[in-house]
Amino acid sequence: MIEKLKQNDELWDLFSKKEEYNLTFSDQHDRFPYYLSSQRNVFDPRVSRFLVEKGLHPEYPGGKKFAVCLTHDIDVIYPEKLYPIIGTAKAFAKGNLTDTIKTPFCRICKKFNPCWNFREIMELEAKYNAKSSFYFLALRPGEKDFNYEIEDLEAELKFISSQGWEVGLHGGHKSYSSLEDIKEKKQRLEKVLGKEVIGYRNHYLKFKVPDTWELLSKANFKYDTTFGYPDCAGFRNGMCHPFRPYNINTGKQIEIIELPLIVMDRTLFRDYMRLDVKKAWELTKSLVDKVEQYNGVITILWHNNTSIEGKGLKYYEKFLKYVSSKKAWITNGKEIYNWWSTNIEPRY
């Protein structure tokens, strides 16, 4: 398939993201956003469509037509210091007596902490015979966005993993460009979890093409799922299938599989696209339908703390209901990687 792609210069440049080599400009977080890209049809998986036309026809467990990869970035476990005051005031204004009583204690009691909701998320997913990946930060005090000590979560991480959900690494602000930082955080998480970690996504979706892929490969990750635009949903390199990245500087494929990120909650809502719930759902639904059309994999990122930012898990459940009604294979990054690398990649 790589050789077929190379014969089409336009699609090859899109697939390999040639425009992201030797960048002159980036955003305030040192990322390459959609608004700087020459790509204007980000909602069309053009490269995947080409590959399907050339004979790529993935099959998934149980004869499913397409797959859904559910993921969660765990940026925050303890709400901000002012949340007990602000949250209590909002609950009181809404006449919600239960939350008015609980919220003042949310930072000191797990039972009342809306961010300590891993099991709630797992129970919701289990209703739809689904499992997901949780990517945890392994920051140390003093590092930017430090919110929790990963060692304090040992019991919770082991519970998540023991139930068949995945625990992966959420790299910090420096990780995407530092092999030493990636390795240190991976080893720290693995020590707490007591098993190998194979999946990765970087904080703030920080990513450098092709450098980050090369670093992750050297750190012995099996797959990454950072590769999506932070400011726009869609197909960053025209792909709605997992793929092995190609480094045009070395002329070689990189030993890691990318599960491209298609939809992030914060992209849809207040931080970037600023869509209302209706328009966000219309876009999400259309992207799901596109991925189904080409037998692909749609990766969705839903933060655990989105549930306290006004959207809750209702939108997430609406998504689960929709993809379940289409009889998709709904699972986590590790299972997608294992299936793709064993059953599909060797065939093309």
Which CATH number belongs to the domain containing residue 227 in this structure?
3.20.20.370
94 and 220 in a single domain? The answer is: no
User: Which residues, 6+ apart, have CB-to-CB distance to 195 below 8 Å?
Assistant: 161
10 and 145 in a single domain? The answer is: yes
Which pLDDT score, from 0 to 100, does residue 110 have? 60
Q: Beta strand 257-258 with 329-331: parallel, antiparallel or unpaired?
A: unpaired
How many CB atoms lie under 10 A from the CB of residue 335? 18
244 and 100 in a single domain? The answer is: no
103 and 205 in a single domain? The answer is: no
How many CB atoms lie under 10 A from the CB of residue 340? 22
110 and 140 in a single domain? The answer is: no
Which pLDDT score, from 0 to 100, does residue 3 have? 85
Contact (CB, 8 A) for 150 and 137: yes
Which pLDDT score, from 0 to 100, does residue 79 have? 62
Structure letter (DSSP) for residue 50: H
Helix (H) or strand (E) holding 298: strand 297-301
Residues in the chain: 348
132: tokens are 């997901």
251 and 306 in a single domain? The answer is: yes
265: tokens are 């909650």
46 and 139 in a single domain? The answer is: yes
The long-range contacts involving 337-345, CB below 8 angstroms and separated by at least 24 positions, are 337/198, 337/199, 337/222, 337/223, 337/242, 337/257, 337/259, 339/60, 339/61, 339/67, 340/58, 340/242, 340/257, 340/297, 341/222, 341/257, 343/59, 344/58, 344/59, 344/242, 345/242, 345/244, 345/257
96 and 48 in a single domain? The answer is: no
Which pLDDT score, from 0 to 100, does residue 115 have? 80
DSSP helix/strand/coil, 166 = strand
DSSP-assigned beta bridge partners for residue 68: 298, 330
Contact (CB, 8 A) for 50 and 8: yes
CA-based angle 265:148:124, to the nearest 5? 45
265 and 285 in a single domain? The answer is: yes
196-221 burial, b if ≥16 CB within 10 A, otherwise e? ebbbbbbbbbbbbbbebbbbbbebeb
**Count: domains in the chain:** 2
- Domain end point (choices 65, 98, 114): 114
232 and 95 in a single domain? The answer is: no
pLDDT tens per residue across all 348 residues of the chain: 788 899 999 999 999 999 999 999 999 999 999 999 999 899 999 999 999 999 999 999 999 999 999 999 999 998 654 344 433 444 334 444 444 433 443 444 465 467 889 999 999 999 999 999 999 999 999 999 999 999 999 999 999 999 999 999 999 999 999 999 999 999 999 999 999 999 999 999 999 999 999 999 999 999 999 999 999 999 999 999 999 999 999 999 999 999 999 999 999 987 899 999 999 999 999 999 999 999 999 999 999 988 545 456 889 999 999 999 999 999 999 999 999 999 998 776
Single-letter residue type at 342: T
236 and 88 in a single domain? The answer is: no
Domain that holds residue 95: 81-114
User: Which among 15, 70, 26 is positioned nearest to 230, based on CA atoms?
Assistant: 26
Which pLDDT score, from 0 to 100, does residue 94 have? 43
90 and 236 in a single domain? The answer is: no
Which pLDDT score, from 0 to 100, does residue 87 have? 39
